[in-house]
Amino acid sequence: MSGTPALSAILNMPVDFDTIRKTVRHLLEQSARSRIELVIVTTPDKAATIPVSSLHAFGSWQIVSVPDLSLAAVGFGAGVRQAKSPVVVLCEDHSFPDSGWAEALLQAHGQECIAVGPAMANGNPDSLVSWANYLLCFVEWFQPASSGPVSSCAGHNTSYKRDALLHYDLDAWFASERVLHADFVAKGRGIYLEAQAATRHVNLSKASSYLCHSFFGGRIFGGARSAGWPLPRRCLYAVAFPLVPAIRIRRIWGVLNTPARRRAARFWPALPWTLAGLILHAFGEASGYLFGAGNSMKRYMDFEMYRARHVNAADRAILRDAAPVATESLAAR
């Protein structure tokens, strides 16, 4: 395709092409496919195994190699820096966008905003643990009635104006996108939720994985949020952690503000798991305020980048794509 693509989709590939194949197929089904540049970020040993003949239908594509992909933020940062489009969007191997998603994101970027996020649907809705994980991470973007300005959008699923991102150390800021979005808001940069752009996110459904993910996610958030704070302020926020579950359950209730919405999100059946996750997240947040993130990010990344390990057998089937893949790879070229 001649000219500059309109949207670069950044997709990390820490394992192999089979793990990202379903996301690639959903990107190929976009109504705006001809305007999409697919940027796959992986390590040199895996780059040569990508079946490039399955990428030719995109407007353009490129493969970016990084020495180490143990942190998603490093991959996303590298992809953004190499992207050729004015708008970039972060994608995941366990988040599958609807066919009008890219078109809706691009239209929304015509407004005065730095970031546009999609509506988030639960991609594995048969599990109560999945619903609890979803309510902790994505309830703010559950079945939005309309599009409009928001204070933040979903991490690893948001689109950005690329030029604005290049002013940040993305390898650090992408570690906690909620903190990045708070910085946008503090600087008067608009964030927009586009209700017509939707993606189906497969959440954790193994109980042990969900509980550990909640704790480490809290510690990462607390550590990132309090970076540079004086000790008295960090201690004050840490001792207040018992209030956090009550505050957050109230926010969840505020989003699920009708009986129909609570039924759709399985609020009551999932409540015990939701409360357990909120308590562990709050405890992790307090730990982050006091001691920083430590090695939590590396442990957290296992849940984010190796999703098949952390879902039940039925949900692993959702992650797999039965569509055939061409066998030509870079190694064969």
DSSP 14-58: SS-HHHHHHHHHHHHT-TTGGGEEEEEEE-HHHHTTS-GGGTTTS
User: What share of the chain has pLDDT > 70, as a percent?
Assistant: 96
Strand partners, 328: none
Q: Could you give the dihedral angle defined by the CA atoms of residues 239, 226, 286 and 243, in that order, rounded to the nearest 10 degrees?
A: 60
Asked whether 123 and 201 are in contact (CB, 8 A), the reply is yes
d(CA 230, CA 235): 9
In a domain, 326, yes or no: no
Same domain, 164 and 268: no
Q: Which amino acid is at 24?
A: V
d(CA 74, CA 12): 9
In a domain, 330, yes or no: no
Same domain, 193 and 212: no
In this prediction, residue 1 has a pLDDT band, given cuts at 50, 70 and 90, of very low
pLDDT, tens only, 251-293:
999 999 999 999 999 999 999 999 999 999 999 999 999 999 9
In a domain, 29, yes or no: yes
For range 181-197, the mean pLDDT? 96
In a domain, 23, yes or no: yes
d(CA 76, CA 297): 15
Same domain, 193 and 243: no
Same domain, 127 and 80: yes
In a domain, 325, yes or no: no
Same domain, 195 and 235: no
In a domain, 239, yes or no: yes
**59 DSSP 8-state letter:** S
Of 202, 217, 242, which closes a domain? 202
The CATH number of residue 118's host domain is: 3.90.550.10
Instruction: State the residue range of the domain holding 224.
Output: 207-319
In a domain, 66, yes or no: yes
Same domain, 78 and 107: yes
Of 202, 229, 247, which closes a domain? 202
Same domain, 175 and 286: no
In a domain, 305, yes or no: yes
What is the number of domains present in the chain? 2
Same domain, 180 and 110: yes
Same domain, 106 and 180: yes
Asked whether 123 and 95 are in contact (CB, 8 A), the reply is yes
Which is more confident, 101 or 321? 101
Same domain, 133 and 216: no
pLDDT, tens only, 20-38:
999 999 999 999 999 999 9
Q: How many helices and strands in the chain, by DSSP H and E?
A: 15, 9
In this prediction, residue 328 has a pLDDT band, given cuts at 50, 70 and 90, of very low
Of 182, 202, 222, which closes a domain? 202
Same domain, 164 and 217: no
Same domain, 304 and 273: yes
Chain-wide mean pLDDT for the chain? 94
Residue 326 has a pLDDT of: 45
* Longest Cα separation, the chain: 60
Nearest to 27 by CA among 95, 81, 110: 95
Asked whether 27 and 58 are in contact (CB, 8 A), the reply is yes
